[in-house]
Amino acid sequence: TQNIHLHSRPEGLPSAENFKLVEVTLPELKEGEVLVENLWMSVDPYMRGRMIDRKSYIAPFQIGDVLEGGAIGKVIESKNDNLAVGTLVTHMMGWRKHFVSSAEPLTALPQTPYDPSYFLGVMGMPGMTAWTGLNRIANLKAGETLFVSAASGAVGSVACQLGKLMGAKVVGSVGSDEKADALRALGVDEVINYKTTDDLNAALAQAAPEGIDVYFENVGGEHLEAALNNMKDYGRIAVCGMIAQYNDTKPTPGPANLAQIIIKKLNIEGFIVFDHWEHYGEFTQQMGQWLAEGKIKVEQTVFEGLENAPDAFIGLFEGKNKGKMLVKL
């Protein structure tokens, strides 16, 4: 079978040379173990951070080791009574076609009418991140103005739609006109294409003349600076990600207007979704309902084949995805 290993640590934007497709032989199944064939794997921006050798909230990848990440697979051989052949499982052993595992790192997927890939996106970690940021970090309320950056991505597209369901006015920023049109079709009130706008600050002021109550931060840099300038007094910022900085080779200077935090008495809170996982059941129940009612629409961008997983991953930093970026194996 095949795995993808980290071949070298990226400097700046990752490239194909940082990855290596490797042929591997699987061990025989022992009692209690299963053989899993992966069907879908996720590529996520946070994986870029794990390619750097540093201490963080999650351990770095090691050169020469198989990469890891969220994936959905099917049990195709079993020596475990609780995991019959045919069971669909979610786990962190992405970036490989097959693997042998004990039951412990595998979670059987619940019976659902949705495609299993939804559990890597809208019903999985990214959807849960959007829900957590708005409900548990920023406490968005009806009638407020929400600004979402990277608004058409996996997290952003759910954050925008949840914002509308929660009764907010939603402003999104994206990197193409096509993405902007797609967001407007989802009901987002105002969309900014940050690549064709020469003054993000002014564009935001125009889109939200009343000011921003909640900023769902996915990007950092200029987006954070523009948001700070346009926040209302006592506004809240849920700091989810800063993708504009993940490939930086030198530390980027912070926004020059951080004093806005004081002047506007802002509440800025970072979060990692896994710290909130005890609420995952509540989230999936609500999300399942919204999907069934057609209140949340799902967009995915799919690359085919394990060999194309590095391109899918690199594509995240080039804006190649609408909705969740996935690899179908």
Cβ nearer to ligand NDP, comparing 4 with 244: 244
Cβ nearer to ligand NDP, comparing 52 with 76: 52
Least distance CB 235 / ligand NDP (angstroms): 19
Task: Tell me the two tokens of residue 184.
Answer: 């407007």
SS (H, E, C) the chain: CEEEEECCCCCCCCCHHHEEEEECCCCCCCCCCEEEEEEEEECCCHHHHHCCCCCCCCCCCCCCCECCECEEEEEEEECCCCCCCCCEEEECECCECEEEECCCCCEECCCCCCCHHHHHCCCCHHHHHHHHHHHHHCCCCCCCEEEECCCCEHHHHHHHHHHHHCCCEEEEEECCHHHHHHHHHCCCCEEEECCCCCCHHHHHHHHCCCCEEEEEECCCCHHHHHHHHHEEEEEEEEECCCHHHCCCCCCCCCCCCCCHHHHCCCEEEECCHHHHHHHHHHHHHHHHHHHHCCCCCCCEEEEECHHHHHHHHHHHCCCCCCEEEEEEC
Cβ nearer to ligand NDP, comparing 101 with 152: 152
Least distance CB 31 / ligand NDP (angstroms): 36
Least distance CB 261 / ligand NDP (angstroms): 20
Least distance CB 39 / ligand NDP (angstroms): 19
Contact residues for 39 (Cβ-Cβ < 8 A; gap 6+): 72, 73, 74, 88, 116, 117, 328, 329
Least distance CB 214 / ligand NDP (angstroms): 15
Q: Which residues of 247-284 are buried (b: 16+ CB within 10 A; e: fewer)?
A: eeeeeeeebeeeebbeebebebeebebeebeeebeebb
- Cα-to-chain-centroid distance, residue 137: 17
Cβ nearer to ligand NDP, comparing 78 with 129: 129
Cβ nearer to ligand NDP, comparing 55 with 113: 55
Cβ nearer to ligand NDP, comparing 263 with 272: 272
Least distance CB 218 / ligand NDP (angstroms): 4
Cβ nearer to ligand NDP, comparing 36 with 122: 122
Cβ nearer to ligand NDP, comparing 152 with 260: 152
Least distance CB 231 / ligand NDP (angstroms): 19
Q: Which residues bind ligand NDP (CB under 6 A)?
A: 44-46, 126, 129, 150, 152-156, 174-176, 179, 218-219, 240-241, 243-244, 271-273, 316-317, 319, 321, 325
Least distance CB 41 / ligand NDP (angstroms): 13
Cβ nearer to ligand NDP, comparing 168 with 325: 325
Least distance CB 301 / ligand NDP (angstroms): 8
